[in-house]
Amino acid sequence: MRINKYIAHAGIASRRKAEELIKKGLVTINGKVVTELATTVKSGDIVEVEGTPIYNEEKVYYLLNKPRGVISSVSDDKGRKTVVDLLPNVTERIYPVGRLDWDTTGLLILTNDGDFTDEMIHPRNEIDKVYLARVKGLATKENLRPLTRGVVIDGKKTKPARYNIIKVDPEKNRSVVELTIHEGRNHQVKKMFESVGLLVDKLSRTQFGTLDLAGLRPGESRRLNKKEISQLHNLAVNKQK
């Protein structure tokens, strides 16, 4: 098995993140630093990442309703609470599939399956992510239309999005809009709304592919079942055909 795949299967990181660790010289096999991505791991080899031995684990998948004020990371050098802290009884080394901003709430998947993570976050697989945004300003078909064609943020055009205006409050100069995208760029939803003159002051992800938050209050989580995992995998595979 290739070293990047072995690291992903051990629940350390996705394959792409594993490749970064390898290139930085942070991976050893039997005490020797590995920098070649084509290096293979054989039975009996001792693999370490940043000095810690790693082993293949049972694959696990969790759905979390992330509350506001929690970091979408495994650890935080500032001592802030992370999404992993919300699942204290999980013994596997799980990590979030993608990220939600500190002040963004809602649906987040955590797993130790690197291949699954790559499937879920790769833009080519076009898995829908649905967000509910409260914005400052009055949402109209006219000012939201550019989002359906793609807007330029950080020098790169976004893929076409879908929107649904839920509520417009002229007195408070505020609107609620549902936005569906299938990318996952940094602060993307906030920047997309900002590009059309609307400032997000509250944001939640309500759906990810076939999953929603039914039955989960903020901070609660549950394990995904085999059917749910299979449905997500099929979404990714079908987009590749």
Place of tokens 């829908």: 128
In the structure encoding, which two tokens stand for residue 89, read together? 């009884």
- Strands 104-111 and 199-208, sheet pairing: parallel
Q: Which two tokens stand for residue 17?
A: 């993140």
Partner residues linked to 132 by β-bridges: 178, 204
Q: Rounded to 5 degrees, what are φ and ψ at 56?
A: -70, 140
d(CA 158, CA 153): 7
Based on the residue annotation, tell me whether 101 is a catalytic residue of this protein. Answer: yes
The catalytic residue among 76, 101, 118, 212 is 101
| Tokens 């992993």 sit on residue | 84
Query: What are residue 175's DSSP bridge partners?
Result: 135, 168
Diameter over CA atoms, the chain: 69
Alpha-carbon distance 27 to 40, whole Å?
Answer: 12
- How far apart, in Å, are the Cα atoms of 58 and each of 89, 113, 168, 206? 15, 9, 47, 28
- Among residues 31, 44, 34, 43, the alpha carbon closest in space to that of 3 is found at 34
**Residues 72 and 99: beta-carbon distance below 8 Å:** yes
Annotated catalytic sites, by residue? Answer: 101
